[in-house]
Amino acid sequence: MKVSPAIAQTARIAAAIDKLASFTEADRPYTRLVFSPEFDAARNWLADAFAAAGLVCHIDSGGNLIGTRTVNLERANLKMSDEGRADRAKVLIGSHIDTVPAGGRFDGIAGVIAALEVVHYLNEHQIELPFDLEIVDYLGEELNVWGTSCLGSRHMAGLLTPEILGRVDVDGRQLASEITRIGGNNLGCDEVRSDADQILACLELHIEQAKLLEIQSHDIGIVTAIPGIYRYGISVKGQAGHSGTTPMDDRQDALVAAADIILAINGLASDIARDENQHFVATIGKIEVFPNGAAIVPGQVEMTLDMRSASTHSKSAFLAAFETICRDSAARRHCAVDVRPLAAADIAPMDSGLMQNLSDAAAVNGLSTIKLASGAGHDTAHLSRFAPAAIIFIPCSDGLSHCPEEFTSNEAIAKGAWVLTSCVLALAGKPLQAVVQR
Ligand SMILES: [Zn+2]
């Protein structure tokens, strides 16, 4: 019996997703932390899968696994430059296969498998591209014990500083040594990838990790921007005291001051998101109370604010009001409030030309699209600092992500792969065409 290409494709996607899901801590699915034995094993499997698709594999200095479908210089009518380096264009498609602890089967993984599907299509149709196509598993996209996410894409962008590389975890593992152990060498960690000017496009497919596509029944989200992510440490200092003898009107309760701030920030962020009709969120998800005793008025609170904004205006509006909130709370509760920036990654607008290409590629395949801003950070944000970059979202169930219930269908991944494929063909100068394998 002849199996239709579409069925063969979803079966191949399903097999790859299942296989990668099997590389997990056994008692905590799905856990494949960067540099763990499960991660190393999954990388080996992926390198074999890349090779089986005819890709030439290597690990770059930043520890990214790259499978290259090399341009045929003769057929593409290109010449080697004097240094023996092919003077040619490149297109990158990739995502990541590491997970958070007890994460899902699709976050990042769907993007790597979809990228591989582009290669399968080109191979099956014996299509030569006039550029190198690099399929990339970016190293360690998820936030890790060294306190940094997107290791591989940051490295390509020259943003992995010696300070970050020198960090050591509680088990004494230095980040730089771990990158070396898996095949990188950390050279040029503070320089943009040397062939950046030859990169035509960096493309990524990712699950939405929110509900908009599902609710509105759209196939593909064309992402307009990846939000800026800003973290601040907030210290509230009051005066610890006896909970029985300190009168209510003579307290400097740091936790009550912190509670004022948390509630006010929540209200402020909700107002900004609604009024500006932009993706804007602010969260205090980490808090420590000192001395943390049941019979002691809290004397000090340390907390972390995580703020994400798809617009610079929303960010400025928030920061201005945030300052007032802290000042008012300090005055009302007789405490001192100190705010210091911890980390910042600016808003990354996606390349408008590539967004149009992806939108056209979806349309020609009969898929519906909407434009939306990302809520989460992605490798593509860092890639966009040095090359044209864009990311598409596919729907996921109930918006769930970073949990074992995370789900998207093999068909949704296949549709995303069609969009990437048609986009790559258009970048190769071929007429816009559907690649639906019905
Ligand atoms: Zn991800």
275, 326: one domain: yes
Query: CA-CA distance, 109 to 406, in Å (whole number)?
Result: 12
The domain of 43 spans 5-226+347-427
Q: Which two tokens stand for residue 372?
A: 């939306």
Q: How far is the CA of 294 from the centre of ligand 1 (A)?
A: 40
Tell me which residue of 160, 165, 168, 187 sits closest to 176, measured CA to CA. 165
> Would residue 262 count as lying in a domain?
yes
> Would residue 275 count as lying in a domain?
yes
Query: CA-CA distance, 95 to 391, in Å (whole number)?
Result: 10
Q: How many domains does the chain have?
A: 2
> Would residue 171 count as lying in a domain?
yes
> Would residue 166 count as lying in a domain?
yes
Q: How far is the CA of 206 from the centre of ligand 1 (A)?
A: 7
> Would residue 433 count as lying in a domain?
no
Q: How far is the CA of 18 from the centre of ligand 1 (A)?
A: 17
In this structure, the strands spanning 300-309 and 228-237 are: antiparallel
Decide: 141 and 152 in contact? Cβ < 8 Å.
yes
Query: CA-CA distance, 319 to 180, in Å (whole number)?
Result: 40
HSE at residue 113, side-chain half, CA atoms within 13 A, is 33
46, 191: one domain: yes
408, 310: one domain: no
Q: What is the pTM of this model?
A: 0.89
pLDDT at 83 (0 to 100): 54
Tell me which residue of 381, 423, 414, 422 sits closest to 395, measured CA to CA. 414
Tell me which residue of 52, 85, 87, 76 sits closest to 128, measured CA to CA. 76
pLDDT at 75 (0 to 100): 67
321, 376: one domain: no
Q: How far is the CA of 99 from the centre of ligand 1 (A)?
A: 8
Q: How far is the CA of 142 from the centre of ligand 1 (A)?
A: 7
11, 124: one domain: yes
CB atoms within 10 A of CB 84: 6
Residue that is last in its domain, among 308, 327, 345: 345
pLDDT < 70 regions, the chain: 1, 75-87, 437-438
281, 374: one domain: no
Residue that is last in its domain, among 345, 363, 389: 345
Q: How far is the CA of 114 from the centre of ligand 1 (A)?
A: 14
Q: Which amino acid is at 9?
A: Q
Q: What is the domain-level CATH number for residue 300?
A: 3.30.70.360
pLDDT at 190 (0 to 100): 85
Q: How far is the CA of 136 from the centre of ligand 1 (A)?
A: 13
> Would residue 432 count as lying in a domain?
no
**Phi and psi torsions of 22, nearest 5°:** -75, -15
HSE at residue 228, side-chain half, CA atoms within 13 A, is 16
301, 370: one domain: no
330, 366: one domain: no
> Would residue 286 count as lying in a domain?
yes
Q: What is the domain-level CATH number for residue 49?
A: 3.40.630.10
Q: How far is the CA of 310 from the centre of ligand 1 (A)?
A: 18
Q: Which two tokens stand for residue 262?
A: 């948390």
pLDDT at 277 (0 to 100): 78
400, 296: one domain: no
> Would residue 434 count as lying in a domain?
no
Decide: 137 and 151 in contact? Cβ < 8 Å.
no
Residue that is last in its domain, among 326, 345, 364: 345
Q: How far is the CA of 383 from the centre of ligand 1 (A)?
A: 14
User: How buried is 279 (Cβ within 10 angstroms: 0-12 exposed, 13-18 middle, 19+ buried)?
Assistant: buried
28, 79: one domain: yes
Query: CA-CA distance, 9 to 184, in Å (whole number)?
Result: 33
Q: How far is the CA of 257 from the centre of ligand 1 (A)?
A: 35
pLDDT at 358 (0 to 100): 98
Query: CA-CA distance, 436 to 367, in Å (whole number)?
Result: 10
Q: How far is the CA of 153 from the centre of ligand 1 (A)?
A: 12
Q: What are residue 344's DSSP bridge partners? A: 230
206, 293: one domain: no
CA-to-CA separations, 201 to 50, 380, 423, in angstroms, rounded: 20, 11, 10
Within 277-344, residue ranges assigned H as helices are: 312-333
79, 197: one domain: yes
